[in-house]
């Protein structure tokens, strides 16, 4: 199965922006721990960062699903279509366990 470009430039820019924000959140959490901020406040920030990372994962997964399904639908090879679908099923199973 040929390797595909993951995201277009605009999508990459949006993902990078989200990741930079998440990095800032994680750095703030690190400071909070060092400053002995109340646990509940730290946990709330950890939850927010976790949610933000999950959103990034969903955006990337969505893009991959779109490209893979398009490739599968255009393929004339049953074996290639099945390989793409098997890979998607595996990916979804792994993602759903997180």
Closest CA to 59 of 23, 30, 95: 95
Residue 5: per-residue pLDDT: 58
Are 84 and 71 in contact, with CB atoms under 8 Å apart?
yes
What rounded mean pLDDT belongs to the chain? 90
pLDDT tens digits along 45-66: 999 999 999 999 999 998 988 8
Q: What is the pTM of this model?
A: 0.77
Residue 1: per-residue pLDDT: 46
pLDDT mean values, one per 10 residues, the chain (98 residues): 69 95 98 96 97 94 88 88 90 83
Residue 47: per-residue pLDDT: 97
């Amino acid at each position: 199965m040929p390797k595909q470009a993951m995201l277009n430039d605009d999508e990459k820019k949006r993902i990078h922006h989200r990741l930079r924000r998440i990095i800032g959140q994680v750095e703030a959490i690190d400071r909070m721990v060092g400053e002995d901020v109340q646990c509940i406040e730290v946990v709330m920030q950890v939850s927010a960062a976790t949610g933000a990372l999950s959103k990034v994962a969903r955006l990337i997964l969505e893009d991959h699903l779109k490209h893979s399904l398009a490739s599968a639908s255009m393929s004339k090879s049953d074996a290639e279509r099945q390989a793409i679908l098997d890979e998607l099923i595996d990916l979804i199973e792994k993602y759903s366990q997180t």
